[in-house]
Amino acid sequence: MNDSIQRLHAAAARLVRPVKFMEVCGTHTMSAFRSGLHSLMPANVTLLSGPGCPVCVTSQGDIDQLIDVARKPGVILCTYGDMIRVVGSAGSLEQARADGADVRVLYSSLDAVKLAAENPSRQVVFAAVGFETTTPASAAAVLHADKLFLSNFTILTSHKMVMPAMRALLSADDLQVDGFLCPGHVAVILGAAAFDPIASEYHKPCVIAGFEGAQIATALARLTEMMADGICRLENFYSQAVTEKGNVAAQELVARIFRPDASYWRGLALLPDSGLVLREQYRRYDARLRFQLGQPINREISGCLCGDVITGRATPADCRLFGSACTPARAIGPCMVSSEGTCQAWFKYKRVANRPSPSPRPSPGVPGEGEKFSAAAERNA
């Protein structure tokens, strides 16, 4: 990592103005903090966390619908673990489960299909959340359920696509983003070429990066070099896994089951063609139709700045709730709930530096120190 840091500092010394880069991947967020990268960076280079955590960008209305469905009699709600503690208007999935709802945490979407086949008298709903990496899994589940003629399987989809969000950020007048660290595993599916418009249309340098601290540092060094040299290009620094065209089988499967549609993002509001909905011939697997859920209503959480944090407009330290009312043990906003969220990363790794006052609500027997505090929260998850 030392070489990359040196290279980054050498390039930064040639910059004529401070620059801000953004990553759009929850794993990059965590890895950058975990490796201490932020503290090693030159003062004139900033790494912002963008809308890369799927849990964090999911709108409040979608979260509320998920919890509403979980509470319906006869429903088995299946979700990836990340969503279980996200707080909606009326509690979380975890609280719904405590109240008697049948909420199951699964590793694979196909396990939900299996559950539906094994429980014909129950309605199995899969929470289809996430970016391009998880979308093929949801598409596969729908296809599999269709092959089995299952009438008791549906998905509640809030799938989103990364590029429309990046375009929205690049088009925002009030935001300075000089270059992007593109998400590695999304690029495995989409292919490197999918990110080319950032350079060719928006004239910003971008680098597809792996997940090690050193890989992120190298990518940042390269971005800084491109800024210093006035180059706007897409470069693939994760070619071990990312090809030019990506995983074509996954892309075809997604295109067969889903079509693009407008989607509501926390922090970015409604973006055209940024989400995915089931195609007409698969609409019978849409939980919104099956349970007549209607349009989600987005009630924002009072005082929560997650929307601004996701778009790089605010840091967690700007939020009144951060570290006091909102902690990993008792999270209010999704960026604190998610293990990939910016607020949780700050709480764990940066809180002391940015907010010296201790949490005013220490739990008995639990030291008010970030790592232990949140570890306790995760055990409860």
What are the residues binding another protein (CB under 8 A)? Answer: 25-27, 30-31, 34, 52-55, 80-82, 107-111, 129-131, 133-134, 136-137, 140, 183, 185-186, 188-189, 210-212, 240-241, 247, 249-250, 253, 338-340, 344, 348, 375, 378, 381
Closest CB 44 distance from another protein, rounded Å: 28
Alpha carbon distances (Å) from 358 to 20, 279, 320, 353: 30, 51, 14, 11
> How is residue 198 written in tokens?
């950032």
C-alpha span between 164 and 205 (Å, rounded): 17
CB closer to another protein out of 185 and 290:
185
**Smallest distance, another protein to C-beta of residue 79, A:** 10
Q: In the complex with another protein, which residue's Cβ is closer, 189 or 326? A: 189
Minimum gap (Å) between residue 141 Cβ and another protein: 10
143-168: string of b/e by CB count within 10 Å (b at 16+)?
bbbbeeebebbbbbbbbbbbbbbbbb
Instruction: Tell me the closest approach of the beta carbon of residue 157 to another protein, in angstroms.
Output: 15
Kindly tell me which of 24 and 67 has the beta carbon lying closer to another protein. Answer: 24
Residue 255 or 381 with smaller CB distance to another protein: 381
Q: In this structure, what are the phi and psi dihedrals at residue 287, rounded to the nearest 5 degrees?
A: -65, -30
Q: How far is the CB of 18 from another protein (least distance, A)?
A: 29
Q: Are 75 and 123 in contact (CB under 8 A)?
A: yes
Amino acid at 112: A
Task: Choose between 133 and 224: whose C-beta lies nearer to another protein.
Answer: 133
Interacting residues of 269 by C-beta distance below 8 A, sequence separation 6+: none
Our CA dihedral for 172, 178, 184, 187, rounded to 10 degrees, sits at 60
Query: In the complex with another protein, which residue's Cβ is closer, 41 or 250?
Result: 250
Q: Which is nearer to another protein, 18 or 36 (CB)?
A: 36
**Strands 269-278, 123-130: pairing kind:** unpaired
Distance (Å, whole) CA 277 – CA 296: 14
The CA distances from residue 355 to 79, 326, 358, in Å, are 34, 13, 8
Whether the Cβ atoms of residue 242 and residue 191 lie closer than 8 Å to each other: yes
Supply the minimum distance, in Å, between the C-beta of residue 374 and another protein: 8
β-sheet bridge partners, residue 326: 322
Q: How far is the CB of 241 from another protein (least distance, A)?
A: 5
Q: Which is nearer to another protein, 150 or 186 (CB)?
A: 186
> Cβ of residue 46: shortest distance to another protein, in angstroms?
22
Structure token digits, residue 12: 């930064």
Structure tokens at 105: 């945490």
